[in-house]
Amino acid sequence: MNNLTWHQHRLSKLERSGQKNQQPCILWFTGLSGSGKSTLANALEQRLFALNHHTYLLDGDNVRHGLNKDLGFSDADRQENIRRIGELSGLFVDAGLLVLAAFISPFRAERRMVRELVQAGEFVEIHVATPLSTCEQRDPKGLYRKARAGEIRNFTGIDSIYEAPETPELVIDTSLASLDESVDRIIQYLKDRGILKDGRDA
């Protein structure tokens, strides 16, 4: 580490985001498996793209096919998974992008770690607070059934804890709100915060 020197870029985050006419940030979707995180993040990204905003979506399963394919699902591996995603998200924010990150991320400490990687106001925690009973009823990947049968260990909500956010910026329950209504709420929040700029979000 002593032989490393930080290389100062000639372009700043302010210049990169200014070119895109948006305030970069991480939109962090956290919640149980089956809560609707990925569906919501995908729908939001489509809406933002239609409004000419510059985004990138990071999804838990997709990242484990490449960047984090060496990690398992122990607490230590899950924490390392989120640490890497946090660092990657920080780079995307520096590039001036709106980063949508959909991860169970069950531990408050790891979500706080990601928040602390970026500047104040650049981390928006969205708790997709769909009840466990609804998530288990949906069970789109059959994971809850396998967890209940003991075929999967360390499964969040069954035999591994989920620490719900204490003060998230937004709370959305997809069992109560439609997909469009949920996207509308997030868009309105981004407008109110000045993250979406120059009238394209009208």
Q: Is 105 a catalytic residue?
A: yes
- Quickly count helices (H) and strands (E) in the chain: 8, 5
Cα–Cα distance list, 11 to 31, 52, 95, 119, 186 (Å): 36, 22, 10, 18, 30
Mean per-residue pLDDT, 11-21 = 68
* Average pLDDT score, the chain: 88
Q: Which of 17, 35, 38, 105 is catalytic?
A: 105
143-159: pLDDT as tens digits: 999 999 999 988 999 98
> Which stretches of 31-97 are assigned E, i.e. beta strand?
55-59
Contact present, 75 and 154 (Cβ < 8 Å): yes
Domain spans of the chain?
13-192
% of the chain residues with pLDDT over 90: 66
Of 89, 124, 125, 126, nearest in space to 196 by CA: 124
29-61: pLDDT as tens digits: 999 999 999 999 999 999 999 999 999 999 867
Radius of gyration of the chain (CA): 17
60-109: pLDDT as tens digits: 677 776 677 888 777 788 888 888 999 999 999 989 999 999 999 999 99
Residue 7 reports pLDDT greater than 70: no
Contact present, 40 and 183 (Cβ < 8 Å): yes
% of the chain residues with pLDDT over 70: 86
Gap between the Cα atoms of 40 and 92, Å rounded: 20
pLDDT at position 100 is: 97
N residues, the chain: 202
At the topology level, CATH places domain 13-192 in Rossmann fold (3.40.50)
Contact present, 111 and 125 (Cβ < 8 Å): yes
**Residue labelled with tokens 């109110």:** 192
The two three-digit tokens of residue 83, written as one number: 């640490």
